[in-house]
């Protein structure tokens, strides 16, 4: 199984990637482009998975080369699980991409990164409620200190396919 | 598929139900936790913590060893033993148990009941207690896992990850529990690298204690040289050993005040388990080396290996005796070096050689136990190559500096 | 008013800490020692002490702007903690040196015991009392 790490630029995606992967991270160039991406392995409860740090993208309607690569990578890995890294203090923007990935039919785990920064800004997110609506695992993470990373990894296996209609229905009530 | 508008509408609904403002207040503790892991502020703080660690260790060791235990052993125990030991001063029994009849201190007498006991109780005990005390406090307060995250990136370069700091620091106390602690690493490869580099390059608490006594001015440089070796060998091994080096996913607890009873209990468990494994080996080591001396084996080896030692490493051939003792207990070996006449630079080389040369027999057994035959032989091969190259390199440095 | 005073105080104090840190570094690199009145810059691990004081001074200085803000205060507290680490270990070293007797007996003489505590002192020890303002400030702020 492959894990794709998706998210906007500057949401600490690489920090999450570094916390999850060990040594032996390889950086390569996506064929035919100038876009680089990194690939590593993560070991969760004895099983080893490949994890790809997908280039930062705001949405899946590509507007630049990096976003094009992100979309292509998603399409090339139909069986992958996606970790959507979201800046917790700007959750709405990040959710946009996460919803798109869910709609495309990928199992998703959401990492609410920079949780400490959100707390500084006195933003409080009801994680339970969010999980309930989205029906995917949502984990608060502070990648820089490593807080929450373990839980994020352990909950990857809980990711499952969700119908967008179901989310709409739940959000409606 | 939703269109853009529908999607934003949905996000709006979700956000309304899950995001609230202005409830949470950052506490001082949270803010401190934050700055201890950010590299810019975290590294200076880590330096201060490690400085405190080392300063405490030195002060404590001086207080108990130099302040009281040296006096106890040299002025009371040694003269008393030399007087009342039943066998004659010329007998081999006297040589094995009391050592040199003319010795005025326990450090140089080299009998099982003199040097052996002195090293165990006089030098190693205080070092180990001081060492574990600080380590346990750091562990229980929650600082250690944060330190691990902080240096994660550096240790990735040698195929390990931040938590390798625990066996590494533990190894500064004793390599034996450190070998066991390598189990926290994820893969065979990581455990192998960790065990090998710590067995070779990290001096144990006992050695540190003796180093402070034998080469007080240069101990800092020696440790720096060993530390460099730790990274170089780790870097090489991580490139040539097959296998994966994944990240260890850590739980980061919040900071808390360590409790007295917890620290006390852990300190007792670790110190006592160290002693039940260490004491027999030290005493046995002294006996074996004294027997080898008596039977002339050491002289024979010294003549045979002499050219290698003086030619390649540039140290006196008498050092071979210490190198053999080093197989049993490194601390004793360093102590023995102090009795051999040599220059300051030769002394540094010898101390480094003893440190990186075979680990003590207890660690040896642990390498075999934890790594299996294959891992054990791998560590051994790395060790032999390292001793020759790294020891020779030091000699080369002295030649280049013009002091050899 | 209180915040203003604290900011000025820690600006000055931070500069002094920074300066003494640099002094320790210079003297440490030169391998010399220096004594003036009750101040003594010498001894082992001088470079390390210098580096730590240097950063502590830096932390103080970067904390003075808007000191009452929690993250700024955290830097101030950690600067003091770094200072206390050096000073605390020095006090511990002095105590452990004062108790055992030299060549003579088990326990030090009364004069010998007292002389261990007499000046000169290392910079961190002299700075220690002035750094306690941090503690006062944290308590005052909470009220």
Cβ contacts below 8 Å, chain B against chain C, sum to 90
Domain count along chain B:
1
Q: Is the pLDDT of residue B23 over 60?
A: no
Q: Chains near B, with 3+ CB pairs < 8 A?
A: A, C
Q: Is the pLDDT of residue A72 over 80?
A: yes
List chain B residues with CB under 8 Å of A92.
11-12, 15
End-to-end Cα separation, chain B, in angstroms: 78
d(CA A76, CA A37): 15
The confidence score (pLDDT) of residue C91 equals 95
Which residue range is the domain that position B397 belongs to? 37-246+267-401
Three-state secondary structure call for residue C38: coil
Tokens of A109: 């785990």
Q: Is B224 on the interface with C (CB under 8 A)?
A: no
Domain count along chain A:
1
Asked whether residue B8 is assigned to any structural domain, the reply reads: no
d(CA C15, CA C18): 5
The confidence score (pLDDT) of residue A102 equals 92
Which residue range is the domain that position A49 belongs to? 2-172
> So what's the ipTM on this one?
0.93
Residue pLDDT, tens place only, B123-141: 777 877 887 888 889 888 8
Asked whether residue B374 is assigned to any structural domain, the reply reads: yes
The confidence score (pLDDT) of residue A139 equals 94
Whether residue B13 contacts residue A172, with contact meaning beta carbons closer than 8 Å, is answered with yes
List the CATH number of the domain containing A148: 3.40.50.300
B386, HSE (Cβ side, Cα atoms, 13 Å): 31
pLDDT band for position B61 (50/70/90)? Answer: confident
How confident is the model over A12-30, as a mean pLDDT? 82
The confidence score (pLDDT) of residue B328 equals 56
Q: Which of C58, C89, C96 sits opposite B52 (nearest CB)?
A: C89
d(CA C131, CA B186): 44
The confidence score (pLDDT) of residue A140 equals 93
Q: Is the pLDDT of residue B362 over 70?
A: no
d(CA A60, CA B109): 78
Residue pLDDT, tens place only, B264-288: 898 888 888 767 766 776 677 678 7
Check B34 against C100: CB less than 8 A apart: no
Tokens of B58: 């030195």
d(CA B67, CA A39): 57
Strands (E), B288-380: none
Of A96-110, B177-191, C70-84, C127-141, minimum mean pLDDT range: B177-191
Residue pLDDT, tens place only, B186-235: 788 888 999 999 888 988 777 777 777 777 778 878 888 898 999 999 99
Three-state secondary structure call for residue A26: strand
Q: Is the pLDDT of residue B329 over 60?
A: no
Which chain B residue has its CA at the smallest distance from A143's CA?
Answer: B149
pLDDT band for position C128 (50/70/90)? Answer: very high
Q: How many residues does chain A have?
A: 173
Nearest to B266 by CA among B162, B362, B134, B146: B134
How confident is the model over C73-80, as a mean pLDDT? 95
Three-state secondary structure call for residue B291: helix
List chain A residues with CB under 8 Å of B20.
123-126
Asked whether residue B22 is assigned to any structural domain, the reply reads: no
pLDDT band for position B348 (50/70/90)? Answer: confident
């Amino acid at each position: 199984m492959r894990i794709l790490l998706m998210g906007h630029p500057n949401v600490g995606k690489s920090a999450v990637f570094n916390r999850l992967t060990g040594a032996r991270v390889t950086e390569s160039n996506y064929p035919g482009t100038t876009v680089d991406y990194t690939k590593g392995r993560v070991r969760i409860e004895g099983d080893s998975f490949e994890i790809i740090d997908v280039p930062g993208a705001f949405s899946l309607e590509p507007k630049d080369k990096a976003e094009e690569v992100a979309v292509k990578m998603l399409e090339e890995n139909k069986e992958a699980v996606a970790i959507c890294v979201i800046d917790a203090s700007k959750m709405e923007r990040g959710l946009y991409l996460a919803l798109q990935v869910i709609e495309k039919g990928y199992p998703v785990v959401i990492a609410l990164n920079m949780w400490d920064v959100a707390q500084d800004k006195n933003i409080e997110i009801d994680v339970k409620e969010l999980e309930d609506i989205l029906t995917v695992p949502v984990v608060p993470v502070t990648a820089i200190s490593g807080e929450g990373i373990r839980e994020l990894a352990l909950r990857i296996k809980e990711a499952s396919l969700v119908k967008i209609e179901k989310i709409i229905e739940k959000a409606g009530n | 598929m939703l269109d853009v508008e529908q999607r934003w509408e949905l996000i709006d609904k979700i956000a309304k139900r899950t995001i609230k403002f202005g409830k949470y207040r950052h506490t001082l503790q949270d803010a401190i936790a934050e700055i201890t892991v950010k590299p810019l502020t975290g590294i200076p703080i880590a330096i201060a913590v490690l400085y405190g660690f080392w300063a405490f260790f030195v002060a404590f060791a001086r207080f108990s060893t130099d302040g009281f235990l040296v006096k106890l052993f040299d002025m009371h125990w040694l003269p008393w033993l030399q007087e009342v030991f039943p066998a004659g001063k010329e007998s081999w029994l006297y040589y094995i148990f009391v050592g040199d009849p003319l010795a005025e201190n326990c450090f140089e007498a080299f009998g099982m009941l003199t040097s052996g006991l002195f090293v165990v109780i006089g030098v190693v005990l205080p070092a180990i207690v001081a060492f574990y005390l600080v380590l346990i406090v750091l562990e229980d307060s929650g600082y250690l896992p944060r330190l691990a995250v902080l240096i994660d990136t550096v240790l990735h370069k040698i195929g390990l990850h931040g938590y390798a700091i625990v066996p590494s620091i533990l190894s500064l106390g004793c390599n034996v529990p450190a070998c066991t602690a390598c189990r926290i690493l994820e893969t065979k490869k990581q455990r192998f690298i960790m065990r090998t580099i710590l067995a070779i390059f990290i001096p144990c608490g006992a050695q540190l204690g003796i180093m402070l006594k034998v080469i007080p001015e240069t101990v800092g440089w020696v440790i720096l040289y060993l530390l460099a070796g730790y990274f170089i060998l780790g870097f090489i091994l991580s490139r040539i050993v097959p296998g994966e080096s994944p990240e260890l996913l850590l739980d980061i607890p919040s900071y808390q005040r360590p409790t007295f009873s917890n620290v006390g209990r852990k300190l007792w468990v670790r110190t006592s388990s160290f002693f039940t494994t260490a004491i027999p080996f030290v005493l046995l080591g002294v006996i074996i080396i004294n027997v080898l001396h008596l039977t002339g084996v050491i002289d024979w080896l010294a003549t045979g290996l002499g050219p290698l030692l003086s030619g390649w490493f540039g140290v006196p051939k008498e050092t071979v005796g210490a190198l053999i003792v080093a197989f049993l207990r490194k601390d004793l070996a360093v102590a023995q070096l102090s009795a051999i006449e040599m220059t300051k630079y030769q002394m540094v080389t010898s101390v480094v050689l003893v440190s990186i040369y075979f680990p003590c027999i207890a660690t040896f057994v642990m390498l075999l136990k934890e790594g299996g035959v294959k891992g054990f032989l791998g560590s051994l091969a790395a060790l032999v190559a390292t001793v020759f190259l790294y020891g020779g390199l030091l000699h080369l440095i002295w030649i280049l500096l013009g002091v050899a | 008013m209180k915040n203003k005073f604290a900011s000025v105080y820690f600006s000055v104090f931070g500069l002094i800490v920074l300066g003494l840190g640099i002094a320790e570094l210079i003297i440490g690199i030169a391998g010399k020692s220096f004594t003036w009145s009750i101040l003594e810059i010498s001894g082992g691990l001088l470079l390390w002490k210098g580096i730590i004081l240097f950063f502590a001074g830096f932390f103080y200085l970067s904390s003075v702007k808007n000191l009452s803000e929690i993250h700024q205060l955290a830097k101030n507290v950690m600067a003091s903690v770094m200072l206390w680490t050096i000073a605390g270990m020095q006090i511990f070293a002095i105590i452990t040196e004062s108790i055992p007797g030299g060549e003579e007996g088990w326990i030090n003489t009364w004069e010998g015991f007292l002389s261990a505590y007499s000046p000169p002192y290392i910079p961190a020890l002299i700075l220690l009392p002035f750094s306690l303002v941090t503690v006062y400030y944290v308590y005052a702020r909470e009220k």
